[in-house]
């Protein structure tokens, strides 16, 4: 059972990361090991050629995994990304992005997982990433 609910997580973003809170991110599913999020895309997410930019995809992975980790641990604002490796697999359509993350290992100081992104309504994924987060020691 997650320690923080989807509503708690979005409120946490609003309070601690207001630069991300206005993007309209929705948490569609959350449990102890998985998360499913939706990011409505806008023209500001597009790059030349009408495709969603790589930085938008990387942000979705990083933010989504952060929320999954906080859902499990509680409001640990200082958990930070130590590695994010992303493979861009195909051109994302300019529609909502769907991201699914999975927590593969949770240790005392590191969390490891993976994240897959799809364009809404398209069967094949547009990107896949592996992520490692450092968890600050409890004080």
Question: Which tokens go with 110?
Answer: 């590191």
The CA distance from 80 to 65, in Å, is: 10
The CA distance from 103 to 69, in Å, is: 8
Task: Give residue 115's pLDDT.
Answer: 98
* Residue 1 pLDDT grade (very low, low, confident, very high; cuts 50, 70, 90): confident
The CA distance from 102 to 130, in Å, is: 10
pLDDT per residue as tens digits for the range 115-136: 999 999 999 999 999 999 999 9
Which of 127, 120, 129 is closest to 26 using CA atoms? 120
pLDDT per residue as tens digits for the range 76-115: 878 999 999 999 999 998 899 999 999 999 999 999 999 9
The CA distance from 35 to 4, in Å, is: 12
Going along the chain from its start, the domains and CATH numbers come out as 6-134 (3.10.129.10)
Task: Give residue 137's pLDDT.
Answer: 86
The CA distance from 66 to 63, in Å, is: 5
The CA distance from 87 to 44, in Å, is: 22
Asked if 75 and 27 touch (Cβ cutoff 8 Å), the reply is no
Task: Give residue 106's pLDDT.
Answer: 96
* Residue 74 pLDDT grade (very low, low, confident, very high; cuts 50, 70, 90): very high
For the chain, report the end-to-end CA distance as a whole number of angstroms.
24
Q: What is the pTM of this model?
A: 0.93
Task: Give residue 90's pLDDT.
Answer: 94
Section 4-26 average pLDDT? 89
pLDDT per residue as tens digits for the range 33-63: 999 999 998 777 767 787 888 889 999 999 9
């Amino acid at each position: 059972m997650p320690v923080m609910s989807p509503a708690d997580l979005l409120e946490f973003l609003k309070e601690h990361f207001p630069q991300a809170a206005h993007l309209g991110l929705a948490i569609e599913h959350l449990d102890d090991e998985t998360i499913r999020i939706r990011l409505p895309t806008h023209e500001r997410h597009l790059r030349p050629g009408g495709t969603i930019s790589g930085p938008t995809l990387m942000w979705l992975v990083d933010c989504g995994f952060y929320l999954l980790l906080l859902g499990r641990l509680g409001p640990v604002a200082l958990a930070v990304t130590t590695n994010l490796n992303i493979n861009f697999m195909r051109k994302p359509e300019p529609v909502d992005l769907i991201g699914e993350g999975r927590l593969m290992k949770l240790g005392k100081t590191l969390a490891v997982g993976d994240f897959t992104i799809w364009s809404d309504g398209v069967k094949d994924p547009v990107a896949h990433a592996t992520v490692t987060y450092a968890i600050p020691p409890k004080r």
